[in-house]
Structure 1
Amino acid sequence: MISFTLNGQTVQATEDETLFDIAKREGKTLPHLCSGYHQFNKADGNCRLCVVEVEGERTLSASCMRKASDGMVVNTHSARVEKSRKMVMELLMADQPTRETCPDPKSHFWKMADEVGIETSRFEAKEPVKADITHPAIAVDLNACIHCTNCVRACQDLQSNDVLGMAARGGKSHISFDQNDLLNESTCVACGECVQSCPTGALLPRDPKTGETVLSDTAERTVNSLCPFCGVGCQLTYHIKDDQLIKVEGRKGPANEEKLCVKGRFGFDYIHHPHRLTKPLIRKEGAAKEPIDPANPLSHFREASWEEALDKTAQGFKRYQPSELAGFGSAKGSNEEAYLFQKIVRAGFGTNNVDHCTRLCHASSVSALMEGIGSAAVTAPFMDALKADVIIVIGSRPAQNHPVAATYIKEAVKKGAKLIVMDPRRQGLTRFADHMVQFKSGSDVALLNAMIHTIIEEGLVNQDYIEKYTEDFDKLADKIKDFSPDAMQEICGIKADEIRTIARTYAKAERSLIFWGMGVTQHVHGTDNVRSLMALALITGHMGRDGTGLHPLRGQNNVQGASDSGLIPMVYPNYQPVASKEVHDKFEEFWQVKLDPEPGLTVVEIMHEIQAGKLKSMYIMGENPAMSDPDANNSRKSLSMLDHLVVQDIFLTETAMYADIILPASAFPEKTGTFTNTNRQIQMARQALNPPGQAKQDLWIICEIAKRMGLDWSYESAKDVHLEMEQIMGSLNGITWDRLEAEDCLTYPNGQAVLFGEGFPTANSKGRIVPTDLIPPDEVPDTDYPFVLTTGRMLEHWHTGAMTRRAAVLNQIEAHPVASLNPKELNKMGLEAGDMITVSTRRGTVDIHARPDRDVPTGMVFIPFCFKEAAANLLTNPQLDPYGKIPEVKTCAAKITPSKP
């Protein structure tokens, strides 16, 4: 600590604190336009408005750059300082339109002008330039730009997108997107970080409906909440006017530090879409479930009262035996909703046939991690990339699917970490990678085992760690002899020397961290893929320390929390096994109800049982299996065969079209609850708006159905549910509702960000190493189907598109279904960008626009699964991983032909 004088008062500080921060802490916020405006931008002393006078020095110092030193005497508002600030503001104002004609008269710039006491400038204005309104999300008016470079630093340093920079020289210098491109024609990914960092209104968000700019301070109120999309769990603030969301800004959350992506910042208006369900609907008597008229899908339904819809819902469920019932819960809902949903299926239906989307994304991760280390959650947060020396990203595309998490990986590389990207396709992180390992689709085990072979053969294992914290290393060492890089290079398509190099890089580092996604898990050998990744970490001791470990990046906003809360057929909340008599008896006693002792059916198994005539009725909340399930034609057939299907959702999804009863529910900003992100961080989401029309809160709907089924439930709010969860879920020890309301974010268990430094939650506290064999994909290309089809998400759209395709900005940016192919393949077929092609597999056919993409290797086609007009899952393979019961949607054989005119 040091001591110095600030405005005549003695203050204490640390040597690394700036005068700006010290003054703010002491209750004196200084005028500022650059680094002080955006707290996560690094300071650069650019605007010169925050200058202070240090006694004995000739020049004034930018307080955002100047560190405190012992004994210094500082004055923040001396006459000299005040005069300088007025001159700076006057010079900056010369580059501004008048307050009446500027893009945003309520901007931070004009607030600072008022604070400094300057109304007009005597200096000559610069020559005006034309505004750029080509982009649907962001309006650019450089007439209001003061060259503070906040936007440049936000783009380059915070998001690492490197789109913005300064162009030209002298008086003609200006902010530039790429090479002076219009914003809509640049490589901008519309994360909006530049907008949030701009103090003048030169960059402003646009209203999704009208295209008009949304000015500062136009909201009537704000609500702090969370992003409803991926598993990163970004904290944000909703801006509301006339009961409409008009703008979203990132806030200081532990997972995002104010950052957002294009979906989080500009994808909010889906909640106001005219397609919102606002009244309960019941299928008309005699109305067939197929075929569905896409032009008028509501023609088969009639409006009903809540009383009638809920009575028919419960009566329908009570007609069937427990084995004839099932439920699909939602990873988009809160922890409390997930808990109640699995409880109503188990306690009300009398069955464990309850599942959710984890079965289609990380079921194999859960299976392998529980088997190996006794825990299914991540061992370290994604922010630990900043502490790692080596980062492996395999089967995941964070820059597209988890953009804010990707910022930490990019920053780590800039700070010196080595990045190894392993994927059949190149991606956004490729340009940051030291090694882009583009292996053949479905050959993960061959590649990973060859790495393990190298590490063992060259003595790069951590023997002390192996002896203390692992078991069955000898089995691995024996098995791995057959997997030399030389033997595997032909199988995986990566040269033996390259395999050895990346293996050494990972093993020799002080701290290495592995990220993976659905490119690893959605295979018939997905569990083996994760077993191999675990083996890499365990034999090298890259576990239990900062900057090390295993991180399966979660796809949906609450897939971690929904799994923790028990939306899985073989476990109760907190992963307590259904098959354990002790656990079963504990839940029977706690819930005071008779429970089924046998594990239930998974998503795909439920669809099979429907067609076998064994399952007759389902309750689906916030899931869309008609789009998300593999071999979707078969899933749709199953849905059409149900005697009684109840769908609870916010839109008439492809699944809801098959329903007998549709219950209009609440969207994310219309509810309060807790959500658990991919880092095991439990966060509080707060209701910003009421559901439209007669739509109801999801918790209310579940409780009303439960009451009609004879369950004595008296929950009045999500808080009541959370209080019950605390009693039965050990992971929530100390994580109370009141603490979450006050602190916004708590990490389980017990606040530990990094787990397993002293062993694992297994019987012997050791991690089990499980050797793996080569298992080829269920389908490989042949003469009839010579392409590999792979599917996934895209940056602008999320999951099945039910929300993002009803968000105006997102749907303008990516409006049409596309299939991405290497340009060489298009040239072979004589096709150009945008031409229609027909993609076929043994399960179905879609017509779709072709898009050239050099990231896609020859022999492969990629189709995102968010477009209902060309649903990728009409084509995908439902063959299951025998352990995780996850379908192989990441690879199957396909053929491509030009579409007929």
Structure 2
Amino acid sequence: MISLTINGQTLDVPENTTVLKAAEQAGIVIPTLCNHKDLTPYGGCRLCSVDIQGLRLPATACTMLVAPGMIVRTESPALTRYRRTILELLLVRFYDAGYTHSNGSPTIDSQFAYWVNYYGIDMKSTMAQKPFRLIDSDPNPFIWVDKNKCIMCTRCVRACAEVQCRFVWTQAYRGYDLRIVAGADTTMLQARCESCGACVAHCPTGALDNKMSVKLGPPDRLVTTTCSYCGVGCQLDLNIKDDVPGGRVLRVTSNAKAPINGDHLCVKGRYGYDFIQSPNRLKQPCVRKYLLDGTARPHNRGSWVEVDWDTALDFAARGLRNARDQYGVHSIGLLTSGRCLNEENYLMNKLARQLLGTNNIDCCERVSHASVVDGLESGLGLNAPSNSLDDVANEAKSILMIGTNTSEQHPIFGVKLRRAVLWRGCKLVVAHPDFINMSEYAALRLVHRPGTEAALVNGLMHIILKNGWEDRTFIEKYTTGFQDFESCLDKFTPEYVAQQSGLDETSLQHAAEILATNRPMAIVWGIDLANYPAARRNVLSLINLQLLLGNFGVPGGGVIPLRTQNNTQGACDMGGHPSYYPGYQPVDSDATRKKFEAAWGKGLPTRPGLTATQMMSAAAEGRLRALFILGEDLVAGASNGSHIQRGLHNCDFVVHMAAFDSETSRHADVLLPGVTFAEKTGTFTNTERRIQMVHQAIAPQGNARPDWLALTELSRHLRRNNGDGDYSDWDYHDTSQIMTEIAALTPIYAGISHERLEQITCLQWPVKNLSHPGTPMLSMEHFAGGRGRFTRIEAAEADS
């Protein structure tokens, strides 16, 4: 530690701490414009200059490192004059056209405007009197560019390079013509801008702004919530204006305290919010006219009639109950969603099992990853990633990325991996049949034939064993089945694998060396791998590779299967699975079933139910008579849309609850209007098992209702008696009560409550009790029997 004095206050700070950071730790504010906590210190604006005893001239606090015995003074009349002069000189080349004001003041109180006002400078009279650059000068659809307000702090340049790793912005020309340009003075999109908005978030003057909302004025309040796009689980601030009943979303901004993404967001999270207030939203419950008339169902189900909620729920309950009573509990199916809250998925599971008596419940998105999850369960006994995203991005020395286009499917995690490569020197090997964005950052790119993934991985393991790169100690202590597995690799020579995969032998040798000699190594895969032929076999091969190298139970190691939707993991955790109660407690276990029977006060089905795929086949064949679909467009999201449509058409009764009309809702008999993530409170669980709060920001649109509330009210129309269990009732007034029930019945969520998440932001399961800190990394003790299992993979010819 180094001792220094700032404004008479003695401080002890670590070595290599800047004076600015030391002052911040002491609560001393030093003005700055070019500095940002996420960016490399630049020292360009010089507004943070301070007096240091022994130096003749003021020094920039953002670049000056502390030294033993240093005496610093951050305020003096001379420093005040110095800073005023800097700001006045910047204003000479600054022009505010006033386009961002709605009530006589700027929409955004920029950092630059704050310091100008703080030092008593009148911006209007001091700044340039006319624009010298075009306003809104770039055709980027999301980012507003006004270089009249640029002060050359280069925060946009550094943000693009250091945060997003795209290098769109740079400085060009010299002298009086010096300015920030995109690429070689082209448009942003020509410079390969990804429109993430990092430059906007870091701009201190408003020279860069959000084009969609630049003229809408300031918000009345900010609501921090969790993004609903992908499985990364970024947090963001919804900027709300209360000028209409219930409020409206003006814009989305990043939140520096977000645990996963900090100040950063992707283009979807920052700019893809217009769907919340879309005029195409469903706003009123509807039922088919034949139901109201009491006649037979027409071939095309007939026309819609808007009704009140009580009427719609009564018809929904009647249709589900009639199917159960006439054809048995196996004639009903429920499909839940990776877009809905944990609490809503839990209620769907309870509705299916307690009130309807069936295990025919599944999450549509889970089916896409079913083979992957089956491989994880078989090889490791896990149902989720072993390590966290930040752990991989910060600790892995090499990464194998296979079957995922991460930059597009999970953009913020893709950015984290770019940073790992560029700023830490992590070695990235990309195995994908197509050229993807991450290929640009790879130390080695493997373009293999689709269907040869398992052969490729077996070939890598053959080379590893041949060179003695395996971790024998780990294998002996933490694995089973190694000898049987080892013998199956004999034929996977580099020559054989090259012939099968289309790769050259040198690339295979190089890939094996990178992954084996740069440990810990992590493996990342996504939906592309899940959709490849023999996905389960591919996953087992990847698990074999990590077991062989001893990459489990260590920071920067493990396997990261990336979930596609924002809460696919949570939907599975909450019992959106035909074989599991919440927390992956098997339905065919007598002890587990009795536990839930006691809690819910009802006898429960004893055998696993149908998967989503099996439900659609059963519906097409006339065996599934009623279907309740929550929050999903089955038809648009399926590769076999015609098969789904046939099943929906043949199903006697379909209830669909969603925020938008869709191809699926056209096959429904009852249509219930749901809400978006901005209109409800609860939790999501991201791809790394991280549970985070979702906060309601605006009132539901029209007469739409949150799914949990609609399900609670539906239960009142369905049930005949309450039962006598501790949790047999459905008297939920908010989602915190539902989470309390989840925690009581689900060991991996036992320490979760809304109150706790409000205090510490997020937790990663398993969370064993209310004092447990969560589990960012699953150690070997979490594996089945404390050991990973090697599996013989006889992959040979490419699958078709």
TM-score when normalising by structure 2: 0.92
- The residue number in structure 1 matching 2:434 is 425
Q: Does 1:567 align with 2:600?
A: no
State the match for 1:743 in structure 2.
760
* Shift in alpha-carbon separation, 1:55–1:767, aligned structure 2, 3 A: same
1:250 has 2:254 as partner: yes
| Deviation string, structure 1 residues 272-318 (Cα, Å, up to 9, x no partner) | 111111100011227978769xxxxxx82110111110011111111
- Is the CA contact 2:95–2:127 (under 8 Å) kept in the aligned structure 1? no
Q: What residue identity is the alignment partner of 1:180?
A: D
**Aligned-pair CA distance for 1:74:** 1.2
Q: Does 1:157 align with 2:162?
A: yes
- Aligned-partner SS, 2:499: helix
2:205 corresponds to = 200
Q: For residues 303 and 102 of structure 1, what CA distance do their matches in structure 2 show? A: 41
Q: Provide the residue aligned with 1:348 in structure 2.
A: 355
Which of 129, 133, 136 matches 2:133?
129
Is residue 2:30 matched to residue 1:30?
yes
Residues in 1 aligned to 2:630 and 2:781: alpha-carbon distance in whole angstroms: 38
* 1:363 matches 2:363: no
Measure how far apart 1:184 and its partner are: 4.5
**Which residue of structure 1 lines up, in the alignment, with residue 214 of structure 2?**
213
**Letter matched to residue 480 of structure 1:** L
Q: Which amino acid aligns with 2:344?
A: E
Map 1:190-589 onto structure 2 (within 5 A).
190-207=195-212, 213-214=214-215, 218-241=218-241, 242=243, 243-251=247-255, 252-285=257-290, 300-320=303-323, 321-383=328-390, 384-414=392-422, 415-589=424-598
Measure the CA separation in 1 of the matches of 2:714 and 2:98: 56
Report the RMSD for the aligned CA atoms in angstroms: 2.1
- 2:583 is paired with a residue of what secondary structure? helix
1:180 to 185, 189, 208: 185
Deviation at 1:753, TM superposition (A): 5.1
Contact 2:43 2:60 in 1 (8 A): yes
Q: Distance in 2 between matches of 1:657 and 1:71?
A: 75
**Which residue matches 2:45?**
47
Residue 600 of structure 1 corresponds to which residue in structure 2?
609
Aligned pairs for 1:624-639 within 5 A = 624-639=633-648
Q: Give the whole-Å Cα distance in 2 for the aligned partners of 1:524 and 1:388.
A: 28
Aligned counterpart, 1:803: none
| Structure 1 range deviating more: 184-193 or 319-328 | 184-193
- What's the secondary structure of 2:541's corresponding residue? helix
- Whole-angstrom distance in 2 between the partners of 1:565 and 1:122: 60
More off after superposition, 414-423 vs 349-358: 349-358
| SS of 2:195 mapped into structure 1 | coil
TM superposition shift of 1:134: 1.7
Taking the aligned partners of 2:322 and 2:59, their CA distance within structure 1 comes to 78
Give CA-to-partner distance per residue, 1:530-576, whole Å, 9 cap, x none.
Answer: 00000000011011111111101111111111111111111111111
Residue in 1 that maps onto 2:777:
755
Q: Would you say the 8 A contact 2:500–2:796 is kept in 1?
A: no
Please name the residue that 2:736 is paired with: 719
Q: Which range moved further: 563-572 or 449-458?
A: 449-458
> d(CA) in 2 for partners of 1:582 and 1:775?
42
Q: Is the 8 A contact 1:334 1:674 kept in 2?
A: yes
Unaligned runs of 5+ in 1: 293-298, 781-901
Distance 2:651 2:80 in 1: 76
**Alpha-carbon distance in structure 1 between the residues aligned to 2:333 and 2:589:** 21
Letter in structure 2 aligned against 1:738: E
Which residue among 681, 689, 692 is the counterpart of 1:672?
681
Q: Select 2:149's aligned residue among 125, 144, 147.
A: 144
Aligned length, in residue pairs: 765
The aligned runs of 1:649-728 (5 Å cut-off) are 649-710=658-719, 712-728=729-745
Distance 2:99 2:329 in 1: 68
1:867 corresponds to which residue? none
The separation in 2 between residues aligned to 1:374 and 1:493, in whole angstroms, is 33
Change (3 A) 1:126 1:434: farther
2:632 counterpart (616, 623, 627): 623
Deviations 1:587-618 (Å, cap 9, x if unpaired)? Answer: 21222211111111111111111112110001
SS at 1:326 equivalent: strand
Q: Say if 1:759 and 1:767, in contact at 8 Å, map to a contact too.
A: no
- Matches of 1:483 and 1:153 in 2, distance apart? 46
Determine if contact 1:419/1:432 at 8 Å carries over to the other structure.
yes
Structure 2: which 5+ runs fail to align? 723-728, 768-772
Could you tell me how far 1:69 is from its partner in structure 2?
Answer: 2.9
Contact 1:95/1:126, CA 8 A, preserved across alignment? no
Q: CA deviation at 1:123?
A: 8.7
- Residue 56 (structure 1) aligns with: 54
User: Could you tell me how far apart the structure 2 residues matched to 1:382 and 1:583 are?
Assistant: 32
CA distance in 1 between counterparts of 2:780 and 2:483 reads 22
Q: Is the 8 A contact 2:168 2:188 kept in 1?
A: no
Pairwise CA distance, 1:196: 0.8
Q: Which moved more, 1:60-69 or 1:158-167?
A: 60-69
Distance 1:471 1:101, change over 3 A: closer
Corresponding residue for residue 766 of structure 1? 787
Counterparts in 2 of 1:447 and 1:291: CA distance versus 1, 3 Å = farther
Which whole-Å CA distance do the structure 2 matches of 1:330 and 1:148 have between them?
45
Q: What amino acid sits opposite 1:429 in the alignment?
A: M
Question: How far apart are the structure 2 equivalents of 1:678 and 1:101?
Answer: 41
Deviation at 1:127, TM superposition (A): 7.3
SS state of the match for residue 628, structure 1?
coil
Other structure's SS at 1:480 match: coil
Instruction: Report deviation, 1:679.
Output: 1.9
Whether contact under 8 Å (1:524, 1:777) holds in the other structure is no
- The alignment partner of 2:68 has SS state of coil
